[in-house]
Amino acid sequence: MSDDNTNNRSNEIDGTRGFAMDLGGTEVDDEESNQGLFDDLLSGEPIFENKEVLRPSYTPHELPHRSDQINKMATILVAALRGETPSNILIYGKTGTGKTASAKFVSKELESTSQKYSVPCDVEYINCEVTDTQYRVLAQLANKFIEKNEQRIDDRIDELESLLAAVDEYDRSQPPDSPPNSSEGESELFEFPIEDAEARPTEADTGSGDPTATSPAGSTDSSGDTNQTTDGDSAVEMGGLETGESPTRNEGDDRSTDDPTGTDASDSSERSDETDDADRFITTVDDESASSHEEHGAKFPPDHPLESTPFDSKSAVEARIESLEEDRESFEEVPMTGWPTDRVYSVFFDAVDYDERVVVIMLDEIDKLVEKSGDDTLYNLSRMNSELENSRVSIIGISNDLKFTDFLDPRVKSSLGEEEIVFPPYDANQLRDILQHRSEVAFKGGALSDDVIPLCAAFAAQEHGDARRALDLLRTAGELAERAQSETIVEEHVRQAQDKIELDRVVEVVRTLPTQSKLVLFSIILLEKNGVHSINTGEVFNIYKRLCEEIDADVLTQRRVTDLISELDMLGIVNAVVVSKGRYGRTKEISLSVPLEETEAVLLSDSRLSDIDDVQPFVQARFEN
């Protein structure tokens, strides 16, 4: 390596370390690089306050002009909050009529209300356009409920471990000689044990007329008799004070006597009766306390942590924790492929039935599931309740196709369509209300001119009252205005957004066409590029055969090509009109309905069609009227 090359390389390294590089003769230093592409874009004032509220995935807190449908769903699903099984619901309506948003709104309210009233209720949403087979639907549901079960087990274990900690803390706080609980025969209400009435002192033994005076245990009076005090009197006094009673005495009863032995027969008899009453009182209170504890299912003091629980010992709590941990370990996540369907269903069934709860399964685009996999999934789900022991299942089906139930088994149709709710299209005024409601949250103040929302509503009303289209139009208009660093969205931005959305829709439809349909469409494009107008089916078929030979594809019959042209017409990509040629018969005149150059670019992005060389169309003799 030469010295010049070494110096140049050294300069490159030094320049890189100093964040300055020579890019095409233009030196960019650190400060200039910081003021780059995104800094210029961020320099303008944003128009959006919260763009997410304009997306289809957003569920608003209020849905204008859908209160009737929402209330009907709520009256059906309220049964879940009573622990009953709600009726199955089928929801119909065209795209963008608020079906999914309304169902999600009601489901969200249902779950929040169930938590408020501590009623177990779970709602699961499945998009059947994505999850379109029985295996995937059951696997996804099984894994969701396994996850919920594991979470509930973890929460329950945490509660039980906290209970164990409270028991340990309680045990440490008790005196060493304190009885462990009331189930071993000690009285909770009294400090001293009950003794024989004969061992209790008499007033004469105390040597005083004061009924409250007592002599120390084992002391000797002047007569040489030994005075004995027991805890019985104290117990009686405490029992009477606790119950609000006081010892009673007769007015003629004189507690002082000249007899030093205190053996007056009447007094002894009265004291014996009082002692018997006290014994009966103590026993009654103790029995009531014990029965009260038994009623609550516990044998512990009132302040014991296990008093109000179903557990009778600390070991029972530990056994329950061990059982829950075993349950958690027994759950097995279902893989997305590889298991027999009956095994997947069994795992799903066990996961749902693990807890007592009401389950609402929401199947969006349910017609796609039936079209792809038949009605086996719906049959199994609608018949689950006859086998479940702890839980109950209800189904909400959402469909754009009003006639999809015609292909269902009569048994599935009868059980699935217990309740039906139809969502009509929005009109222009309703769409205007929806856009106004969303725009108040989505945009900053003063960002919309007065004619923007009415124009968006008018465009969307032409598309069969599609609120989703209206929201996309308003959001796209805002994005275009923001990119142009405009402070206000005006009518021109809405019209640009309309063209852009239409083009994006065409691009997506063309990109996902089957190869044979792409070949037919490419034939039409080649004919139009060569100046052929009012193209007929025979001309398209001739070019189509050449294209098939070019990429080595199978050639379909002309009748089948005619069917593909009809499908393209239905998608709005071409316009095919049947015209009469008199004695030459009837034919279709075909013209392109989408931008030619953009559509051709999408077709050529397909790897098979990109290899096609320029094919000059062979135009056969054409018959004009």
Number of Cβ atoms within 10 Å of the Cβ of 603:
19
**Tokens found for residue 292:** 């009260």
Give the closest residue to 545 by CA, choosing from 566, 570, 526. Answer: 526
Q: Check whether 135 is labelled as a binding-site residue.
A: no
Please state, in angstroms and as integers, the Cα–Cα distance from residue 140 to each residue in 127, 273, 596, following that order: 11, 78, 42
377: Cβ contacts below 8 Å, ≥ 6 apart? 134, 137, 138, 369
Residues 6 or more apart whose Cβ sits within 8 Å of residue 207: 213, 215, 221, 227
Cβ atoms < 10 Å from Cβ of 526: 21
Alpha-carbon gap, residue 36 to 24, rounded angstroms: 17
Strand order in the sheet with 586-592: 535-536, 586-592, 574-580
The percent helix, strand, coil of the chain (3-state, each to 5) is 55, 10, 35
What b/e sequence results for 339-371 when a residue is b if at least 16 CB atoms lie within 10 Å of its CB, and e otherwise?
beeeebbebbbebbbbbebbbbbbbbbbbbbbe
Q: Is the dihedral of CA 417, 418, 424, 425 positive or negative?
A: negative
- Identify the DSSP state of 451: T
148 assigned ligand-binding residue: no
Q: Name the token pair of 536.
A: 């007929």
User: Is the distance from CB of 491 to CB of 451 less than 8 angstroms?
Assistant: yes
Please enumerate in sequence order all residues whose Cβ is within 8 A of that of 323, keeping only pairs 6 or more positions apart, or say none.
none
Question: Alpha-carbon distance 138 to 381, whole Å?
Answer: 9
Rounded distance between C-alpha atoms, residue 404 and residue 413, angstroms: 10
Question: Contact 601/553 with Cβ under 8 angstroms?
Answer: no
Tell me whether residue 51 is annotated as binding.
no
Q: Is 438 annotated as a binding residue?
A: yes
526's tokens:
């080649």
> Has 125 been labeled as part of a binding site?
no
**Whole-Å CA distances, 255 to 220, 229, 270, 276:** 20, 17, 12, 19
341 CA to centre of own chain: 25
Tell me if 429 sits within 8 A of 98, measured CB to CB.
no
Who contacts 267 (Cβ-Cβ below 8 Å, separation ≥6)?
202, 203, 204, 253, 257
* Amino acid type, 119: V
Contacts of 182 (CB under 8 A, 6+ apart): 188, 289, 290, 293, 299, 300, 301
Judge contact between 418 and 382, C-beta under 8 A: no
Largest CA distance in the chain: 152
- 100 a known binding residue? yes
Strands 392-399 and 574-580: unpaired
Please state, as a whole number, how many other Cβ atoms lie within 10 Å of the Cβ of residue 131. Answer: 21
Beta bridge partners of residue 21, listed in sequence order: 28
Binding residues for ATP, as ranges, are: 97-101, 426, 438
